[in-house]
Amino acid sequence: MIGAIIMVHGDDQGLVLPPRLAPTQAVIVPIYKNDAEKSKVMEVADRVFKELKAAGIRLKMDDRDNVSSGFKFNDWEMRGVPVRVEIGPKDVEKGSVALARRDRPGREGKTFVSQTGLAANVSGLLVEIQDSLLKRATEFRDANIHDVQTYDELKEVVKDGWAFGYWCESTECETKVKEDTKATTRNIPFDQPSEEGTCVVCGKPSKRKVYFARAY
Ligand SMILES: [Zn+2]
For ligand 1, the distance from its centroid to the CA atom of residue 168, given in whole angstroms, is: 4
For ligand 1, the distance from its centroid to the CA atom of residue 198, given in whole angstroms, is: 8
For ligand 1, the distance from its centroid to the CA atom of residue 200, given in whole angstroms, is: 7
Helix (H, G, I), strand (E, B) or coil at 202: coil
For ligand 1, the distance from its centroid to the CA atom of residue 151, given in whole angstroms, is: 10
Count CA within 13 A, CB hemisphere, residue 56.
Answer: 6
Residues whose CB is less than 8 angstroms from the CB of residue 22 and which lie 6 or more positions away in sequence, other chains included: 58, 80, 81, 82
Distance of CA 26 to the CA centre of its chain: 13
DSSP line for 56-121: T--EEE---SSS-HHHHHHHHHHHT-SEEEEE-HHHHHHTEEEEEETTS-SGGGEEEEESTTHHHH
- Residue 186 and residue 211 in contact, taking contact as beta carbons nearer than 8 Å: yes
Q: What's the rounded Cα separation, in Å, for the pair 59 and 28?
A: 8
For ligand 1, the distance from its centroid to the CA atom of residue 206, given in whole angstroms, is: 8
For ligand 1, the distance from its centroid to the CA atom of residue 155, given in whole angstroms, is: 15
DSSP state of 200: T
Q: What is the pLDDT along the chain (216 residues), one digit of tens a residue?
A: 445 554 556 777 788 889 998 999 999 999 999 999 999 999 999 999 999 999 999 999 999 999 999 999 999 999 999 999 999 999 999 999 999 999 998 888 999 999 999 999 999 999 999 999 888 888 887 888 899 999 999 999 999 889 999 999 899 999 999 999 999 988 655 556 667 899 999 999 998 888 899 875
pTM (predicted TM-score): 0.72
For ligand 1, the distance from its centroid to the CA atom of residue 103, given in whole angstroms, is: 40
pLDDT of residue 33: 93
Q: What's the rounded Cα separation, in Å, for the pair 128 and 125?
A: 5
